[in-house]
Amino acid sequence: METFPVLDSYCNYMLAVLGRSELTVKEYRYDLIAFFRFYKQDHRLVPAGTEFNEIDISDIDEKTLNRITTDDILIFLIWLSRERKLSNASRARRIATLKSFFKYCHSKKHIISTNPAYDIETPKVGKRNPKYLTLDQSKELLEQAYNSPKESNERDYCIVTLFLNCGMRLSELRGIDIDDIHDDILTVIGKGNKERTIYLNDACLSALDDWMAKRATLKIKPEHKKALFISKRGTRISDDMIQIVIKDLMLQAGIDTKVYSVHKLRHTAATLMYKYGHVDIRNLQMILGHQSVSTTQIYTHVDDEQLRKAVRNNPLADFNPDDE
């Protein structure tokens, strides 16, 4: 996909300096490409009738960047709301992207004289409980992976097991190397290039043993020898391939893939640990690698049954003055 030098350097800055994940940078790049395509279309800088996804932005230069105004951004946000029907949460992400990009252009690169996104307000986004699989759905997904007739079933079952037991992000799981595992301790690199420790339970260790036995029979390219999860081409498995694997297994398990995705497995792991494992919120924060405990607290609101049980177990629950 053709972009332009400043956008490329911004994405490299996000990866190398800010330590953002490849998936996050991919989303930011997508948002910015959409904005600049809209800008060119709105200012009639492309022939009439040009398909939106065919608009070339490789000619965006410093002169163009300096012409962009706050109104241009506001019109883009209105278009996202009216034409693309994006929610407040989705528009908030686009605003965050634009703020970050233009701050980079203004404060880091000094290629624009003013920051057009500086005063853009972010819409209020109501807190939503995370969507997660039930315990029964999780078991069904694991069974589908375990019993799959595919040649990759040991790998796929191990991937699902780690997701549901450890609450890892997609990028964290894909990036695991063999030497990141020592006995029951796994070290992963999370957001902001921060390292954290995950302790593996019996299910994870068993799935890893089965996969490692299968992995030993594969022909792996020399530059990918360290990668834990390998594709059929002998290379480290990609983000897209993991998403395809999980989506296929969810469909086989009768799980709605319009609602549930790879990231929902992280929510599921956190919810199951909190609901059934009675994990302390601070410990759950450490397991998930959240910078702030306030992020982890979304999992304290998901179990209404626990609240009902707490009220039922109140020692005054059976008190009736008429019986006295």
Residues marked as catalytic: 169, 191, 263, 266, 290, 299
Structure tokens that stand for 87 in this block: 């929610």
Fill in the DSSP letter of residue 122: P
CA 16 vs CA 25, 45, 80, 122, 289: distances in Å? 11, 33, 30, 27, 20
Structure tokens that stand for 228 in this block: 């834990």
CB burial readout 42-76, b (16+ within 10 A) else e: eeeebeeeeeeeebebeebeeebbeebeeebbeeb
**How far apart are the C-alpha atoms of 91 and 95, rounded to whole Å?**
6
Pair 65, 6: CB distance under 8 Å: yes
Q: Which helix (H) or strand (E) holds 283?
A: helix 281-288
